[in-house]
């Protein structure tokens, strides 16, 4: 097996393991009835807020204990998958003899890894309950699935990419994108939970997609967490953009020229700055803040995909 084949095998293994983890988390999410229905602090101090509440309505196919077991298994699988993903990247590095952020496929895989690591850190530090791994693994698996569509044979780099700035600039951009992915997931979860709460307090019925929100943590806690993640990611994003400008100075002779990639990075940065402002600009602006965060990630995704594929800028030479 060549290095490239080994890397690809590990990559496929990652997707399969993540899919299994997602299923395990789904079991815990659905059937661990310990999770209180409303007003749960994300993880209350000492975890004492979680008390078993017997479910009166339907007999669950598996017991809460079994569901928790599934959750533990899901976490182990997530670690395994993340290890396989990291190993796949390292294999590529060994095989190509260069830093692994050379084209769009590699970049996307990096984002997936950064996102998963971010989520694992959140779980390990007890900032989020494990069962929400359902959404994290879902988002990351989607990213990995998309990356397959832009798969490129591992190859050498064009001269401008042959610089230590690739390590600094692209790594920062990837880390920021990965963390922001998780931030976006929590922004969406917050909005869903908020909607759910409003319908409950209005006494309206809750039908299928929305009833999933029942076991989400408290909306305020989700919002706070969304903010924390963005607070962590924003300086990373800022640093990534600055490092890109420094690199552009050395490689192309100017630090900023409104190349399409630069334009959209600027837009993303400004949107995230708007998000940080919205949170302190009064009630209604704060209520809209999660939408701005989601808009920010839409811009990030646009920059990653459409700008590479559609626009013809200096950055497009990195190869699809």
Checking phi first, is residue 126 left (phi over 0); if not, alpha (psi -120 to 50) or beta? left
DSSP code of residue 214: G
Q: Rounded distance, CA 10 to CA 6, Å?
A: 6
Q: Which stretch binds ligand HEM (CB under 6 A): 102-110, 168-176, 250-258, 274-282?
A: 274-282
Applying CB under 6 A, does 59 fall inside the site for ligand HEM?
no
| Residue 274 beta carbon to ligand HEM: minimum distance, rounded to whole angstroms | 8
Select from 20, 223, 211, 38 the least CA-distant residue to 133.
20
Applying CB under 8 A, does 146 fall inside the site for other proteins?
no
Select from 307, 12, 237, 232 the least CA-distant residue to 141.
12
199 vs 228 by CB, closer to ligand HEM: 228
Helices of type H across 35-130: 64-96, 104-124
CA dihedral (42, 132, 64, 18) in degrees, to 10, reads -150
Applying CB under 6 A, does 277 fall inside the site for ligand HEM?
yes
Applying CB under 8 A, does 242 fall inside the site for other proteins?
yes
Selection from other proteins, ligand HEM, none that 165 binds (CB < 5 to 8 A by kind) is: other proteins
Q: How is residue 170 written in tokens?
A: 């692209």
Applying CB under 6 A, does 273 fall inside the site for ligand HEM?
yes
Applying CB under 6 A, does 212 fall inside the site for ligand HEM?
no
Q: How is residue 52 written in tokens?
A: 């078993």
Binding mask 151-170 for other proteins (x = CB under 8 A): ----xxxxxx-xx-x-----
Among 1, 45, 58, 280, binds ligand HEM (CB under 6 A): 280
Among 259, 300, 315, 318, binds other proteins (CB under 8 A): 259
13 vs 285 by CB, closer to ligand HEM: 285
Q: Which stretch binds ligand HEM (CB under 6 A): 27-35, 138-146, 269-277, 308-316?
A: 269-277
Q: Rounded distance, CA 244 to CA 173, Å?
A: 9
Applying CB under 6 A, does 204 fall inside the site for ligand HEM?
no
| Residue 278 beta carbon to other proteins: minimum distance, rounded to whole angstroms | 6
Applying CB under 8 A, does 250 fall inside the site for other proteins?
yes
Q: Is 201 within 8 Å of 222 (Cβ atoms)?
A: no
Select from 213, 193, 215 the least CA-distant residue to 64.
215
Q: Which stretch binds ligand HEM (CB under 6 A): 1-9, 47-55, 173-181, 275-283?
A: 275-283
| Residue 232 beta carbon to other proteins: minimum distance, rounded to whole angstroms | 9
210 vs 273 by CB, closer to ligand HEM: 273
Q: How is residue 43 written in tokens?
A: 């993880």
Q: How is residue 45 written in tokens?
A: 């101090």
């Amino acid at each position: 097996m060549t290095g490239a084949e080994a890397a690809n095998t590990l990559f496929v293994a990652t997707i399969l393991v993540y899919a299994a983890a997602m299923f395990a988390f789904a079991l815990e999410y659905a059937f661990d009835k310990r999770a209180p229905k409303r007003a749960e602090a994300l993880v209350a101090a000492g975890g004492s807020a979680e008390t078993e509440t017997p479910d009166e309505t339907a007999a669950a196919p598996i017991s809460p204990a079994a569901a928790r077991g599934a959750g533990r298994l899901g976490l182990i699988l997530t670690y395994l998958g993340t290890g396989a993903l990291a190993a796949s990247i390292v294999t590529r590095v060994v095989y190509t003899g260069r830093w692994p952020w050379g084209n769009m496929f590699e970049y996307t895989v990096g984002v997936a890894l950064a996102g998963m690591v971010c989520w694992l850190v959140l779980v390990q530090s007890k900032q989020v309950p494990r069962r929400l791994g359902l959404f994290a693994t879902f988002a990351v698996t989607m990213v990995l699935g998309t990356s397959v569509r832009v798969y490129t044979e591992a190859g050498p780099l064009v001269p401008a990419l042959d610089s230590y700035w690739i390590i600094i600039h692209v790594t920062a951009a990837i880390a920021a994108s990965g963390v922001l992915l998780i931030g976006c997931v929590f922004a969406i979860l917050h909005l869903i939970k908020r909607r759910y709460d409003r319908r409950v307090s209005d006494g309206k019925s809750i039908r299928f997609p929305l009833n999933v929100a029942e076991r989400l943590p408290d909306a305020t806690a989700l919002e706070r967490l969304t903010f924390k993640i963005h607070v962590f990611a924003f300086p990373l994003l800022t640093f990534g953009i600055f490092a890109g400008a420094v690199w552009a100075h050395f490689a192309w002779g100017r630090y900023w020229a409104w190349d399409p990639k630069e334009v959209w990075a600027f837009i993303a940065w400004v949107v995230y700055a708007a998000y940080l402002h919205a949170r302190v600009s009064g009630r209604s602006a704060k209520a809209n803040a999660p939408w701005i965060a989601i808009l920010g990630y839409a811009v990030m995704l646009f920059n990653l995909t459409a700008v590479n594929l559609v626009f013809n800028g200096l950055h497009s030479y990195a190869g699809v």
